[in-house]
Amino acid sequence: MSNYEKAVRLWQKKNIQTDAELSETLNGHSIAFAYHSGKIENERVTYHDTREIFEHDGVTGYTGDLRTLFEIRNAKEAYELFLCAFRDRRPLDESLILEFQFQLTNNTYDTRRWQLGERPGEYKKHDYVTGKNEIGATPEDVPEEMAELLDELQEVKSEKILTAAAYFHAKFENIHPFADGNGRTGRLAMNYLLVLHEHPPITVHEEDRKGYFEALEAWDERQELEPLACFLRWQTEKTWEKQISRAKKLL
């Protein structure tokens, strides 16, 4: 049995049914996820500041920029929404994705975006492209492309959920539906899809961003999904390696 399979089995053995059980299982992982997801986009995010905000709702002696502080605080708010959505078994639909993005980007849009009419929790109104391939749907196409993507997830089987999650994340980032926060929103929404289907959430580690971006580019350039699916299996192992090691010692 691979370490990936062990991670999935350990998660499923917990039979998590409530938001309290999910919160307990994710103790510590929620901070790591928020730190790594934020750090991928913003080098000024630190683990210390993230932990302080998650555990104490504030930081002492902070000397960084306010946007970074807002981003970390927003990650905590988004995590709380994640738990509430799981409690209510909300489907991963357009309204929830818009709420995730709002929580993650509230009070962080810069002056230029705000003057262009962009708002947190709304699809982009102007063209924003990203990556070396300059991907991103046109604003007028975003609602339809997002609706098609979410429709494709309705009948997904739990045994195929990692592949489905990889597909969702690749397509979501390719659509690039928002003026800002696409990566953080996509990673959070992907994890929500995973936990709904009894699969452990995945921390995409910031030190592995090169492989992460290469896997996303494989989809953008050639519609190859396996590089991203393979990357996510590896990151699952890395995310839960301590639990896997602990389980081995108990055998």
Residue ranges for the known binding site for ATP are 180-187
Please say whether the beta carbons of 129 and 176 come within 8 A.
yes
3-state secondary structure of 135: strand
135: which strand partners? Answer: 130
CA distance 113 to 163: 34
Q: Is 148 exposed, middle or buried (0-12, 13-18, 19+ CB in 10 A)?
A: exposed
For residues 19, 21, 26, 28, the Cα torsion angle rounded to the nearest 10 degrees is: 110
Would you state the structure tokens that stand for residue 3, as one six-digit string?
A: 């370490």
User: Any idea which residues carry the catalytic annotation?
Assistant: 176
CA distance 182 to 16: 28
Would you state the structure tokens that stand for residue 58, as one six-digit string?
A: 């504030």
CA distance 39 to 13: 31
3-state secondary structure of 130: strand
Nearest 5°: the CA angle 212, 216, 221 is 140
